[in-house]
Amino acid sequence: MINDLSIAALILAGGQSSRMGEDKAFVLYEGKPLLQRVYQVAAACSQKVYIATPWPERYKTLLTEDYEVLLETEPNQGPLVALSQGLLEIPFDWIWLLACDLPILEVSMIQRWQSRLTVVANTVLAVVPQSQSRWEPLCGFYRRSAYSHLQEFMIPGGRSFQRWLTHISVEPIYLSKEESQMLLNCNRPTDLKP
């Protein structure tokens, strides 16, 4: 965690999980629910953890630790809409946006990435991993001041993270092969097999 900056983690747990066939947050990976695994890393790397979901009661038994719910006002509209709400409502310098299905995140690697937040130019609105010329936005860091730029993109109907990131100043985190593996998410039951 960076002492000079305030960083909140925003874990996305509001998707339909249609390819998985059940709520991904509860799916076990090495004996532990995906949401618990992601939460533990998020708590170690941020000052506050928020869960973005339209179902605030659903995760109370799964997460007994300290977290806040960001009740999605526009559920099922995708991660860009959830980020927009987070940038508006969460009073931190940076939001670390996370999918709930990233079971092999490593605290040490995330902390190395976070150290870059203290040295990026004030004009940089996002620090996002990039793998093979493609952004990995669901493990990226977004400056609170990105909100107005995101609104400009979304008002005419923009919902693509990849396209939005081409419209703003982004500092890429170039990923090694090992780091790319850490960001593999779980969309289907077969993705959970080692």
Residue ranges for the known binding site are: 12-14, 24, 101
Residue type, 182: M
Structure tokens at 146: 């990105």
SS3 assignment, position 120? coil
Query: Residue positions in the annotated binding site for GTP?
Result: 12-14, 24, 101
Parallel, antiparallel or unpaired: strands 126-131 and 141-143: antiparallel
Query: Residue positions in the annotated binding site for Mg(2+)?
Result: 101
SS3 assignment, position 135? strand
In angstroms, the CA 5 to CA 47 distance is: 10
Q: Locate tokens 């998985």: which residue?
A: 20
